[in-house]
A and B are shown apart, each in its own frame.
Chain A
Amino acid sequence: MKEQLSDEEVLFSETTINGIKVVPWSFNKLFKLNNILKKLHDKLTFINSIGSKITYADALRLISFADNNLLEVLTITLDVPKEKIYELDIYTGIRLLLAIYYQNKNTIEFKKKENKTSDITLGDIFSMLISNNIGNSLEDLKSNYTIDQIYMFYEKCKRNELSEQKRNAITLAHALVYASPSHDRNSSRKKQTMWDKYINSLEPRKKEKPSHKGLINAFRMMGIPITVRKRSDQ
């Protein structure tokens, strides 16, 4: 199941291990790693299965996984030359590997379920983000945003688009009432008031302030008795 990350986790997802910055994959990096990830399928399943109680046998099995594919994943993800990775101590190396795995677990898990398809294409996602001024260009979105960030912003844009459509529908309904024929002056005035109220509700500054009477009634409804002073009492 896809793990739901909070907005904060998505926005501040990078970590630094021994001076090396680990950032979740962007789409550009995922495309570069695509073929390698397929080859690492069994190894990733094994890493997923190990818990906090690792045995000596598990440790040996992990060593046997350290092939060129894994080295490639490290160099591409971290943007660090192979020579530097070779010189790391084992503790740092394993921390980096596990950090990469856990940062990109959702993407890796999704890749494993290849039968999962969606009607929404990456083109749809990128074009929606660019039209909403998120990212300067396609290249910017592909390289400088993590995959989780892209999906998070896309969902937010989609939600905004839906609420915009909903508001348009409500406005249309109000407009239809407003434009319908009135049989008398009273009905016409009521429609005008309703329309003005609705239009004002769309602008936060113009939101109606509660009336004096309305405030008194609100307090009374809460059980707080309010008496109105007569001018002679003052």
Chain B
Amino acid sequence: MEDNKKQEVEEKSIFPEATVGGTTVKPWKFGVLFEISHLIEDILNKMEIKGVSIYAGVDGFLPYTTIARIFTIASGSVLKIISITLKLPEEEVIEFDMDKGMEIASIIYKQNSEQIKNSINKIFIE
């Protein structure tokens, strides 16, 4: 079940833009990093305290169970990141159903961490 879901999300994240339930998810511009860095730091610190691994699978996806745990540990920061990424008010993001929220969070993670990872690898290869 999770595998099918993952495949579907992966297909969406391969393209620069993905649409989930009518909401478009675009990869971050460089400037977004400066808006969300403290939120990412907050999430990483909370995950470290709770012993949640930030290591994704080889495909770059965080398991849904991990995403769910992150939601419970640092919901405030996750909500803000989604809101900044989608350029939607937090009140609107809160109204997403659980599935849509998880899927969007997964796509945001995959789209951007993959891009940063690949960029750095590409630079070192150059």
Q: Which residues of A contact B (CB under 8 A)?
A: 50-68, 70-71, 82, 85-95, 98
Subset of 14 A-B contacts with CB under 8 Å: A53-B121, A55-B117, A56-B55, A56-B113, A57-B55, A59-B120, A60-B113, A62-B116, A63-B40, A64-B44, A71-B34, A91-B115, A91-B122, A92-B30
Contacts of A95 in B (CB 8 A): 119, 123
Tell me whether B34 and A68 are in contact (CB under 8 A).
yes
The answer to whether B117 touches A54, judged by C-beta atoms less than 8 angstroms apart, is yes
Write the residues of chain B forming the contact surface with A, with a CB cutoff of 8 angstroms.
27-34, 36-38, 40-41, 44, 54-56, 60, 112-117, 119-125
Cα of A71 to Cα of B41 in the assembled complex, Å: 17
Secondary structure class of chain A's binding surface, majority of residues:
helix
Task: Give B63 Cβ to nearest chain A Cβ, in Å.
Answer: 13
Most buried by A among B30, B31, B121, B125: B30
Q: Choose from A54, A60, A86 the contact partner of B40 (Cβ within 8 Å).
A: A60
A64 engages B40 (CB within 8 Å) = yes
Contact A51 B124 (CB under 8 A): yes
Query: Given that A55-B55, A55-B117, A66-B34 are contacting pairs, would A89 and B29 also be in contact in the complex, using a CB cutoff of 8 Å?
Result: yes
Residues from chain A with a CB closer than 8 A to the CB of B55 are 55-57
